[in-house]
């Protein structure tokens, strides 16, 4: 009787052991894939990005001086979904992607200032006060940053509306969160942040308001001489198009359009890295992980898990065992 009981226990023990081994393998594979696709892939992609080199020696007559370099990140069109458009899963996925990309970039690249060039929110132009407060809270969590890193945000048409949708309430609501600063200076470099939405208007009042702001900024830039009345930039960076392009104004002033930072708008989001001095600058683009690559990895992992499960259940011959048996047959010949 005792021998029968021991044999029965052994029969139950081995299937249970096989099931436990299968479960551990499945958990290990799922954990490894999630860790790579949701964390490590951002480090792998952004680790390949480097700050562009720029000349740091300036000559004033015969005397040379060393100019400080400001490391600036430029990104655009994050389009955080609101309460009306977009599925909740879409919102959760895109915001997680942007949060991981931004936090990884901060940790690896150590920028001194980050500019977001418009369309921070997707529904800011019509969102209710409650929805606006929720969107702002999620933005502040996603784009949190150390106190020594400056974050500058420019309004876009999705934040406050196009020229025919703009009003004082929407503009003030945006500026209450992101400041109404028009001129930002650091390390001898002047950045003028212009809300170009007002310039697209066909109403003289709005255009006059934008013109007045430009005149005020030009006065501040040239307060010692008051000789220049209009801005004469050496570089223009803008958002809105979701794609990268380059144009030259008057054949000399370059304008670079910064691609969207959201996977909802592009399969391969990116941002611009700028090494800037008072007399020179250099730009480079940093690509984030491609979403189709992540999907391929997940699909491959699902296929591998199915094969692994079927092999353990004896419904599919293990590729390793099949290869081993084939090798044995060749040796016996």
For every one of its 333 residues, what pLDDT tens digit does the chain have, with 9 covering 90 and above? 444 454 545 555 556 677 788 888 889 999 999 999 999 999 999 999 999 999 877 666 666 678 889 999 999 999 999 888 878 888 999 999 999 999 999 999 999 999 999 899 999 888 999 999 999 999 999 999 999 999 999 998 888 887 777 888 888 999 999 987 888 899 989 898 887 665 554 433 334 555 666 666 666 655 434 723 456 788 889 888 888 888 887 778 888 999 999 999 999 999 999 999 998 999 999 999 999 999 999 999 999 999 888 887 777 655 555 655 666 666 565
H/E stretch holding 3 reads helix 2-35
Distance CA 139, CA 156 (A): 15
The three-state secondary structure class of 304 is helix
> What is the pLDDT, as a whole number, of residue 229?
40
For residue 136, give both structure tokens: 């702002």
The three-state secondary structure class of 285 is strand
**Total-model pTM:** 0.81
Under CATH, what is the fold of the domain 67-293? Purple Acid Phosphatase; chain A, domain 2 (3.60.21)
For residue 164, give both structure tokens: 């025919």
Which among 192, 88, 106, 89 has a CA at the least distance from the CA of 146?
Answer: 106
Residue pair 269/262 in contact (Cβ under 8 Å)? The answer is: yes
> What is the pLDDT, as a whole number, of residue 320?
52
Tell me 36's DSSP state.
I
Backbone angles phi, psi at 63, to 5 degrees: -95, 130
> What is the pLDDT, as a whole number, of residue 10?
53
Backbone angles phi, psi at 266, to 5 degrees: -145, 150
Residue pair 240/247 in contact (Cβ under 8 Å)? The answer is: no
Residue 245: strand pairing partners: 257
Residue 35: strand pairing partners: none
Question: What residue has token string 């109403």?
Answer: 203
Alpha carbon separation from 235 to 187, 193, 231, 278 (Å, rounded): 17, 12, 11, 12
Residue pair 76/116 in contact (Cβ under 8 Å)? The answer is: yes
Residue pair 88/47 in contact (Cβ under 8 Å)? The answer is: no
Domain boundaries, the chain: 67-293
């Amino acid at each position: 009787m005792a021998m029968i009981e021991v044999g029965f226990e052994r029969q139950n023990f081995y299937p249970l052991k096989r099931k436990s081994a299968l479960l551990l393998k499945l958990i290990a594979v799922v954990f490894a894939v999630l860790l790579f696709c949701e964390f490590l892939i951002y480090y792998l992609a952004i680790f390949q990005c480097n700050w562009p080199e720029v000349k740091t020696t300036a000559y004033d007559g015969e005397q040379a001086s060393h100019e400080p370099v400001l490391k600036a990140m430029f990104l655009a069109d994050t389009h955080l979904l609101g309460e009306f458009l977009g599925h909740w899963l879409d919102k959760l996925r895109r915001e997680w992607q942007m949060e991981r990309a931004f936090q990884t970039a901060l940790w690896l690249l150590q920028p001194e200032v980050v500019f977001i060039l418009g369309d921070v929110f997707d529904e800011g132009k019509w969102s209710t006060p409650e929805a606006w407060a929720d969107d702002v809270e999620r933005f502040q969590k996603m784009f949190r940053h150390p106190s020594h890193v400056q974050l500058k945000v420019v309004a876009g048409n999705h934040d406050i509306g196009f020229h025919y949708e703009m009003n004082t309430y929407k503009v003030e609501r945006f500026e209450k969160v992101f400041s109404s600063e028009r001129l930002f200076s650091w390390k001898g470099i002047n950045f003028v942040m212009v809300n170009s939405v007002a310039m697209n208007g066909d109403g003289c009042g709005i255009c006059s308001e934008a013109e007045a702001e430009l005149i005020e900024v030009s006065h501040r830039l040239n307060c010692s001489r008051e000789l220049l009345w209009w801005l004469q930039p050496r570089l223009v960076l803008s958002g809105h198009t979701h794609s990268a392009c380059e144009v030259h104004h008057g054949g000399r002033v370059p304008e670079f359009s910064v691609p969207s930072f959201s996977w909802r708008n592009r399969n391969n989001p990116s941002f611009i890295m700028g090494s800037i001095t008072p007399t020179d600058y250099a730009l480079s683009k940093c690509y984030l992980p491609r979403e189709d690559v992540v999907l391929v990895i997940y699909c491959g992992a699902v296929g591998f898990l199915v094969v692994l499960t079927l092999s353990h259940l004896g419904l599919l011959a293990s590729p390793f065992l099949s290869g081993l048996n084939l090798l044995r047959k060749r040796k016996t010949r």
